[in-house]
């Protein structure tokens, strides 16, 4: 089996449990080999050869609630221990907590692994890797998989069972108190906050963070880990999941609702009025917070954000940098800008991945909520809500996303040719103009007979797809744009246009 097929950008991801006609390709055997490649990477690329040879190389392993976690973890442990590695078995954990295991002195891990496949169905799983300097890059994963079949040193290491969520939670509560500028033990007393963990790894946040800070967590739901995800997909970018937490907030008359994805590197909220704050709205809230703390800062986002968001950020004195989709891409762009002395405090995708410069450039869903919690006492004192913070953010009348499978053999070449050809097509159209402030695919502003809005055509990061996003401030005008584009797409026989045709028939 080709291990390279398991690479998913800067992660490793595959099918861990056979499902219908899907054959498992991320098995304990594959994971044991990947552990060999990881040791080679740490030894030869991360300059840890001396620690490795002396038996002092320390690797931590944690996992979310998926049903395949235990068998994959054991395969990692067995492989590492056989390679003279000291292993810390953290059990149930979160992705951000596993990075913090490289920073907390009581653990001092040289590297950590989080076993997770984020919001994907239960039969998927994967590995996210960290060192003290941050998350693995795409090139690192490629190196690890290329060296997975190398010989390994057969010297016995050790394994120790432990847990990190208590320490991670305590660190987070202290950061929240500090952000509130208070030494009060329970500064959230009087607040009613509901958590929806979607049966992932985020249930700890209710009792170990919110309740510790004094909040009433009555009505919190799906806190118990269950790798089958019986209630809804743990995904803040999913309509069903957001509707579930929205209903819980309104039913319990809570001040705030918090929802996490499976491994807690993403989150979103619902305010007391039931307003869903995710995607563009979440970016606006966090940008407001950051620009109050760091006036004039730049905010890096991925490309498919609303045009109104750019206006909103600029109205707050900031600058939006729209960049390539993918959480590592936006984070790395933030790091790059800061290295160029351009103050950039936040990188965030519409999916909810958000990283702060002040927090190790780590995409940490719990820290996102921490930043919001720091603001709650001030908002309550002023008699306002989170929704009030972004009341000036204009909302589009309609948005739509369509995905077209590329059937050609050379997927990327074909997709990029379509994008190039679309650029020429747009030049010949009235009411369409290419947006030059774009780093991914082609973004086009539309006006006159097409209403007032934009569309973006880009390659999917990890799937053989072209993704088309269309947004308009005039109801009914997305159809006008799609009808025009349908004429263009007709010439590309290696695109599956079924979704576009279905949309135009409605």
DSSP 170-232: HHHHHHHHHHHT---S-TTTT-BEEEE-TTSSTTHHIIIIITTTT-B-TT-B--S--TT--SS
- Do 41 and 137 belong together in one domain? yes
Q: What is the pLDDT of residue 182?
A: 96
DSSP 417-470: HHHHHHHHHHHT-TTEEE-SS-SSSEEEEE-GGG-SEEEEEEE-SSSSEEEEEE
pLDDT value for 178: 97
Picking from 101, 136, 162, the residue at the C-terminal end of a domain is 162
Q: Which residues contact 366 (CB under 8 A, 6 or more apart)?
A: 94, 96, 172, 202, 205, 209, 260, 264, 267
Question: Does 220 lie in the same domain as 89?
Answer: no
| Alpha-carbon distance values, 329 to 27, 143, 334, 335, 336 (Å) | 28, 19, 9, 10, 10
Q: 211 and 317, same structural domain?
A: no
Residues 6 or more apart in contact with residue 348 via CB below 8 angstroms = 282, 283, 286, 299, 300, 301, 330, 354, 355
CATH number at residue 452: 3.30.310.50
Q: What is the pLDDT of residue 505?
A: 83
Same domain, 328 and 447: no
From 136, 162, 188, the end of a domain falls on 162
Tokens of 221: 């739901």
In whole angstroms, what is the distance from residue 364 CA to residue 94 CA?
9
Question: How many residues in the chain?
Answer: 506
Q: Which residues of the chain have pLDDT under 70?
A: 1
Q: Which of 435, 399, 421, 378 is nearest to 281 (CA)?
A: 399
- Tokens at 319, concatenated: 């600058």
The structure tokens listed for 217 are 């967590």
Nearest to 259 by CA among 230, 239, 285, 286: 239
Give residue 127's pLDDT.
98
pLDDT digits (tens, 9 = 90+) for 72-126: 999 999 999 999 999 999 999 999 999 999 999 999 999 999 999 999 999 999 9
Same domain, 139 and 7: yes
Same domain? 218 vs 332: no
Q: Which CATH number goes with the domain that contains 112?
A: 3.40.120.10
Whether residues 77 and 141 share a domain: the answer is yes
Nearest CA among 370, 382, 365, 383 for reference residue 178: 370
Residues 183, 289, single domain; the answer is no
Q: In terms of domains, do 435 and 345 share one?
A: no
Same domain membership, residue 65 and residue 149: yes
Q: Which two tokens stand for residue 187?
A: 């500064």
Half-sphere exposure of 401 (CA within 13 A, CB side): 10
Return d(Cα 352, Cα 367) in angstroms, integer: 12
Task: For residues 319 and 432, state if they share a domain.
Answer: no
**145: enclosing H helix or E strand:** helix 138-146
Q: Residue 426's domain spans which residues?
A: 398-504
Same domain, 195 and 306: no
The CA radius of gyration of the chain, in Å to the nearest whole number, is: 23
How many independent structural domains does the chain possess? 4
pTM of the model: 0.95
What pLDDT does residue 316 have? 98
pLDDT at 152: 76
């Amino acid at each position: 089996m080709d291990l390279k097929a398991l690479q998913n950008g800067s992660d490793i991801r595959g099918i861990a449990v056979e499902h219908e006609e899907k054959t498992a390709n991320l098995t304990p055997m594959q994971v044991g080999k990947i552990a060999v490649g990881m040791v080679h990477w740490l030894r030869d690329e991360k300059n840890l050869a001396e620690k490795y040879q002396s038996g002092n190389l320390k690797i931590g392993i944690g996992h979310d609630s998926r049903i395949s976690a235990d068998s994959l973890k054991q395969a990692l442990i067995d492989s590492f221990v056989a390679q003279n590695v000291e292993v810390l078995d953290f059990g149930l954990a979160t992705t951000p907590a596993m990075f913090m295991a490289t920073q907390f002195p009581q653990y001092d891990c040289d590297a950590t692994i989080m076993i997770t496949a984020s919001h994907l169905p239960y039969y998927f799983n994967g590995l996210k890797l960290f060192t003290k300097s941050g998350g693995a890059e795409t090139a690192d994963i490629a190196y690890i998989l290329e060296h997975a079949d190398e010989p390994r040193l057969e010297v016995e290491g050790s394994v120790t069972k432990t847990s990190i969520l208590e320490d991670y939670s305590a660190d987070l509560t202290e950061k929240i108190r500090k952000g509130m500028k208070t030494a009060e033990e329970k500064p959230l007393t009087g607040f009613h906050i509901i958590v929806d963990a979607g049966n992932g790894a985020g249930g700890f946040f209710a009792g170990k963070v919110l309740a510790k800070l004094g909040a009433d967590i009555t009505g919190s739901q799906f806190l118990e880990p269950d790798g089958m995800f019986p209630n809804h997909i743990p995904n803040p970018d999913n309509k069903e999941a957001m509707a579930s937490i929205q209903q819980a907030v309104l039913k319990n008359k809570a001040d705030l609702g918090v929802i996490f994805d499976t491994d807690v590197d993403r989150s979103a909220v619902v305010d007391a009025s039931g307003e869903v704050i995710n995607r563009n709205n979440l970016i606006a809230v966090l940008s407001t917070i950051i620009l109050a703390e760091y006036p004039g800062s730049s905010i890096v986002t991925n490309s498919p954000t609303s045009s109104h968001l750019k206006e909103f950020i600029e109205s707050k004195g900031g600058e939006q940098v729209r960049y390539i989709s993918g959480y590592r891409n936006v984070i790395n762009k933030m790091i790059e800008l800061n290295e160029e002395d351009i103050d950039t405090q936040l990188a965030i995708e519409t999916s909810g991945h958000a990283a702060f410069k002040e927090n190790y450039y780590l995409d940490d869903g719990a820290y996102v909520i921490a930043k919001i919690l720091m603001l709650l006492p001030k908002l309550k004192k002023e008699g306002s809500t989170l929704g009030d913070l972004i009341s000036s953010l204009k909302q589009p009348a309609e948005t739509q996303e369509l995905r077209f499978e590329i059937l050609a053999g050379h997927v990327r070449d074909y997709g990029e040719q379509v994008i190039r050809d679309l650029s020429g097509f747009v030049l010949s159209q009235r009411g369409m103009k290419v947006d030059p402030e774009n780093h991914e695919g082609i973004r086009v502003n539309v006006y006159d007979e097409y209403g007032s809005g934009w569309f973006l055509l880009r390659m999917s990061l990890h799937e053989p797809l072209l993704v088309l996003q269309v947004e308009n401030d005039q109801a009914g005008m997305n159809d006008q744009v799609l009808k025009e584009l349908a004429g263009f797409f007709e010439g590309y026989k290696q695109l599956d246009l079924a979704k576009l045709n279905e949309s135009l028939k409605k």
